[in-house]
Structure 1
Amino acid sequence: MTNASLRGIDTNLVVALHALLHDPNVTRAAKTVGIGQSSLSHALARLRLHFGDPLLVKVGRAMVLTERAKALVGPVDAAVRGLTAVFSPEASFDPRVSRRRFRVVSTDNVEVFLLPHLMPLLAAEAPGVDLSFHHLGGDWQNELRRGVCDLKLGRKAPLPEGLRNQDLFRERLVCVLRRGHPLAPARGKPLTLERYLSLGHVVVAPTTAVSDPVDDWVDRALRGRKLSRRVTLVVTHFLAAPFVVASSDLCLTVSESLVRAFRPLLPIAAHPMPFGRGEYRLSQVWSAHADGDAGHRWLRGMVARAARAAASGERMV
């Protein structure tokens, strides 16, 4: 149906039809709608003219639906639900009783440092709310626009029109080597740029296709200095990289929060970046169509609280 054909439709007739389809008694249906019986009788006459069908016929002492009217029940119910959703005031959201499921896309390093802080908050304040975390793919912007997912968590980057973002905290990159690495600097000494470039490196590329070159922040920063490093290994998951470093002579440049999570488990040590500030901002991104969603606003607030708690850990180097 085009916009032009919609102009001739009176939404009051839709409401009247909905009442009559669920109660063919004109007197009772009029009370349901909140209008007089004569007004509803007039609406019924207009509906009969529109559909070319009597809609209600008398059988004995009762009014019953015609076959055409019976076929309208489902579509009219759907139309009323849609109109209610569009024109009703914003639905409230009570996290204490909600059974809603939210879908989030992120990289696994974000899950490692955020979820241990987020899930206790949900358990205490929203025991019926569920989360589904999914691997960050290359099409996440369209997934947000289509409503396939609710949030994207990750490194802040320029966004196209129609997407919103909120900074969560500033993250710092560090260089990770195994303890006892032959090229690790002595205690209290920095890792030099020359030594950094002499190492083999493991790089995490979560969304990089097989045919795409590895080109992360570090490589771009080095290229700006007319330098390059040897990328010995590329993996798709951040969680794999610390284990590789712990059992090899490779170097990993990664967020400090991930190293903080693995340091008690693996024989690894963090060192300051030998060039640049090595900082970036972690943000949450959502579609503009979710701005007015009370539940969505609540989720973003919970993520921000969890991120603040996660970011309060002590610096390692």
Structure 2
Amino acid sequence: MKIILAQPRGFCAGVVRAVNTVERALQQFGTPVYVLHEIVHNQHVVDDLRTKGARFVENLKEVPPNAVTIFSAHGVSKEVENEARDRGLQVLDATCPLVTKVHNHGRQYAVRGYQVILVGEPDHPEVIGTLGQIPARVVVVQTKAQVATLGFTRNMPLAYITQTTLCVDDTRAVVEALKRRYPRIIGPDTRDICYAVQNRQTAVRELSQHVDVVLVIGSPQSANSVTLRDIAAQAGKPSYLIADGSAVRSEWFDDKSTIGITAGASTPEVMVDDVLNALKRIAPLEIENLPGREEHVHFRLPDGLIARQ
């Protein structure tokens, strides 16, 4: 069985920063530290951090007074920030800097009097946090069809922002629909969608041209992992979203000799190794890496953590 690994794949800089924030906080402050929501959308990452002493909560009311509290990479609302401050919690904000950039864009548009439209998934934690960061009403749209239902006048001052983890092509289509209906609308270029998301989507498109079947390693709760699976399927290749090697099924590879593997931005490389080990139990492997974009982005850890000497 020939295996071709996509490049890049797996952890992005924002996820590395978030995971390192929890691990460094445990080293600096001891156990427990409290994390509001899953730090990233990957159960293996969450379980590993839980065994090290992190406690994951869904509400700040579950956090004792003055405790070390970490906000997840997806970001939180101003209401949550204010509640943490009022309760005297020691906050480490692991919100991805690219998500914070979207918050800043949205606030700037709102202050300038624009009606803000957010292209995104209404129930995604990043969208919920972004809505709570903008001091004005924000309308969420996810599809071109929803754009057609908007009731704004053509001359109304409108601006759009986007969720960082969406499919680039789908987002571009929604933005183009907005621009056709509202020619005066302003907003960032779709290149402002997370660089890591774009790179992984480009890589899986290329990967799909060289393989018979695609395995995407990631969580079904991970928007960018689901998108990678969808892109491979749209390319006409059987594609499966799996969390780890235990989900691999030998019948997927009947009469298929070349397997492509990629991983979502919140998936650690150890899960790729786990899938490869599962495939080795099916057939001997010949493994190669597909050439792709190299990433050299690094984000500084949140204020409140002591730099490692």
TM range (shorter): under 0.3
Say which one has the larger Rg. Answer: 1
- TM-score, scaled relative to structure 2: 0.23
Report the TM-score, using the length of structure 1 for normalisation.
0.23
Higher RCO, 1 vs 2 (CA within 8 Å, ≥6 residues apart): 2
Bigger fraction of residues in strand:
1
